[in-house]
Amino acid sequence: DETAFHARRAMRLATTPSMLHIIGAWLLADCGYREEAIDEFRRTSTAHEGNLLGILASFHAKVLVGDEAGALTSGAELDGAVRNEWSALLVAEGYALLGRHADAVRWLRSAVAMGFVNHPFLSQHSRHLAPLRSDPEFEALLCEVYPRWQRLAAWERTNSHNQVR
């Protein structure tokens, strides 16, 4: 519940629905607060109707209510429009929950191409990616990500003395 507490607090402190609210709502869903997450996605979707944030929020609301056809329509609008690894990762998690493994892996490949290489998150921590963990394409992607994660972790260990404490 600590994650949910911090997600709620961050969303309350932000005065206008934003990407923060999409991430916060997704965290709430991950913690089991599905209805609350759906409400936040809908609020954000309404506030950003007709733009990328609105479509992304609408996609996630539809995923969580089980409206696969609606989610796929919103998802098609996201193709080519998402330009950062976090948004691509969130879309991948949505497709994973819908049971659309090929779409989820495609979006994860996009997230990785844009720089998301957090192997522990992909392989263990994301509850939304759990349905993919036995998928051969997902396993192949993890094999590609792992060396990049290792290099990043080694770089951080080597350069930790430069970090501000």
pLDDT by residue (tens digit) across 137-159? 999 999 999 999 999 999 988 88
Please compute the mean of the pLDDT values over residues 4-27 and round it to a whole number: 95
164 has a pLDDT exceeding 70: no
| CA 79, chain centre distance (Å) | 15
Query: With bands split at pLDDT 50, 70 and 90, how would you rate the model's confidence at 52?
Result: very high
- For residue 162, the model assigns a pLDDT of 64
Give me the mean pLDDT over the 108-130 stretch: 95
Contact 37, 45 (CB under 8 A): no
Contacts of 128 (CB under 8 A, 6+ apart): 26, 29, 30, 93, 94, 96, 97
User: Does 59 score more than 90 pLDDT?
Assistant: yes
Instruction: For residue 111, give both structure tokens.
Output: 């997230």
Which residues have a Cβ under 8 Å from the Cβ of 130 and sit 6 or more positions away?
A: 96
pLDDT score for 89: 96
Give mean pLDDT, residues 67-83: 95
CA separation for the pair 25, 2 (Å, rounded): 14
Provide the pLDDT confidence category of residue 15 given band limits of 50, 70 and 90: confident
The pLDDT value recorded for residue 91 is 97
Taking the C-alpha atoms of residue 1 and residue 51, their distance in angstroms, rounded to an integer, is 32
Under the banding of pLDDT at 50, 70 and 90, the label for residue 94 is: very high
**Prediction pTM value:** 0.90
pLDDT at 146: 97
